[in-house]
A and B are shown apart, each in its own frame.
Chain A
Amino acid sequence: MSLTAPLALIGRITLGLLAAVGRVSIFTGRAASHILRPPFYPREILSAFIGIGWLSLPVVGLTAVFTGAALALQIYSGGARFNAEAVVPQIVAIGMVRELGPVLVGLMIAARVTSSIAAEIATMKVTEQIDALTTLSTNPMKYLVAPRLLAALVTVPLLVGVGDIIGIFGGYTVATSSLGFNPGSYLTNTVNFLEPLDVISSLAKGCAFGGISALMGCYYGMASGRGAQGVGTATKGSVEAAAVLILAANFLLTGAFFSV
Chain B
Amino acid sequence: MTKAADTPPMIALTEVAKAFGPKQVLRGVDLSVARGTSMVIIGGSGTGKSVLLKCILGLVEPDAGRIAVDGADINEGDRDAFLARFGMLFQGGALFDSLPVWQNVAFRLLRGQLRRPKAEAREIAIEKLRRVGLTPDVADAFPAELSGGMQKRVGLARAIAADPEIIFFDEPTTGLDPIMAGVINDLIREIVTEMGATAMTITHDMTSVRAIADTVAMLHDGVIKWTGPVSQMDNSPDPYLQQFIHGRATGPIAAVR
A interface residue numbers (CB < 8 A to B): 39, 41, 124, 127-129, 131-138
Contacts and interface: CB of A to CB of B under 8 A. Distances in A.
Contacts of A138: 107, 111-112
B88 interface: yes
21 contacts: A39-B111, A124-B96, A127-B94, A128-B91, A128-B92, A129-B97, A131-B54, A131-B59, A132-B88, A134-B58, A134-B59, A135-B59, A135-B86, A135-B88, A136-B107, A136-B158, A137-B83, A137-B108, A137-B113, A138-B107, A138-B112
Contacts of B111: 39, 41, 138
Interface string B55-88: 0011100000000000000000000100110111
A137 to B, nearest CB: 5
Contacts of A39: 111-112
Nearest to A133: B96
A132 B155 CA distance: 10
Interface of B: 54, 57-59, 80, 83-84, 86-88, 90-92, 94-97, 107-108, 111-114, 158
A135 B80 CA distance: 9
A132 B113 contact: no
7 nearest interchain CB pairs?
Answer: A128-B94, A132-B94, A137-B83, A128-B90, A135-B88, A137-B80, A131-B59
Nearest to A134: B59
Contact of B95 (A129, A135, A137): A129
Contacts of A132: 88, 90, 94-96
A137 B90 contact: no
Given A132-B94, A137-B83, 15 more contacts: A39-B111, A128-B90, A129-B94, A129-B95, A129-B96, A131-B54, A131-B57, A134-B58, A134-B83, A135-B87, A135-B88, A137-B80, A137-B113, A138-B111, A138-B112
A207 B92 CA distance: 38
Given A129-B96, A131-B59, A136 B91 contact: no
Nearest to B170: A128
